Amino acid sequence: MNNFLRLRRPDDWHLHLRDQQMLAAVAPWSADLGRAIIMPNLVPPVVTGSEAAAYRDRITAALPENATLRPLMTLYLTEATDPADVVGAHAQGIISAVKLYPAGATTNSASGVRDFDRVRPVFEAMAEAGVPLCVHGEVTDPAVDIFDREAVFIDRVLDPIRRATPSLRVVMEHVTTSDGVDYVRAGGDIGATITTHHLVINRNHILAGGIRPHYYCLPVAKRESHRLALVEAATSGDPRFFSGTDSAPHPDRAKESACGCAGCFTAPNWLSICAHVFEEAGAIDRLEAFTSLNGPAFYRLPPNKDHIRLVRRDEPAVFPDRIEAGGETVTVFDPGFPLFWHIETDA
């Protein structure tokens, strides 16, 4: 067994850093990344190029002095989004993508899209300018079971969008089902991020033996067969799949309430968890592709030039159970098993 790995510095192609006191608390945990696609679902959301630039400045100010992270900003798509602002912000290097939230699908998505025909001019402008569309792939129809909402979204929304605008570049974010994996593999200019927690948990982790709110996320974890499909896709080396943690911090009081917030805070330990999953799958040699190569290739960026080291030791790596954020606590995702892969700065 290989006890040592040297990887190109990883990126995170789906990351929530929040704002204000929460931003100050969580940003340092992602400071050692190369790049990260930053989610725009603040309150109020980041909807214009100027707002994205201002948010990028706040993130940079919250990072430690020696941080390597370069935040790649996104715009929150609304039915009032100006195609010219999207194209202009992308041309100026302010944004790297646009995020589509179906209205009501997840945290702070009330300003998202209800009528997809109203945003077709934005999709057409994005396709012409080469701006990727990052998709939260779930329908919000209350008649659709929550465990089926990704598969139904593909049929009702995503496939019609791609057929109408075939040159639009799409990232199916936090894919959670074998249906999603199969759709991405079917071809076209489409990729998919897979989260750390969806590689580890299935719906039993949330519900069996009692409700465990710190495993509740959206899209919700599915059956074990779907988790295994995600592990197979992530560890296959297929360049269409890459790491996007969807690390999403919430105060414990909000997670543990009568109507708990969705999201898992994985920023502190995600890479050690991924190394464990890849090792268990006999694919540790493919970890670098998933964390450091496939994402840049999709976004037409070079891999990071510098490297990090992962060392497998006999003693488990130690991570905090929770962190403090402005007088609140935020629980760190617990994978349920010890983590023996330690991350080091490359010599």
Report the catalytic residues.
246
Distance, C-alpha 194 to centroid of its chain = 7
What does each C-alpha distance from 20 to 26, 61, 311, 325 come to in angstroms?
Answer: 10, 11, 35, 10
Per-residue CA distances from 189 to 12, 133, 281 (Å): 20, 11, 28
Residue appearing with tokens 């290989």: 2
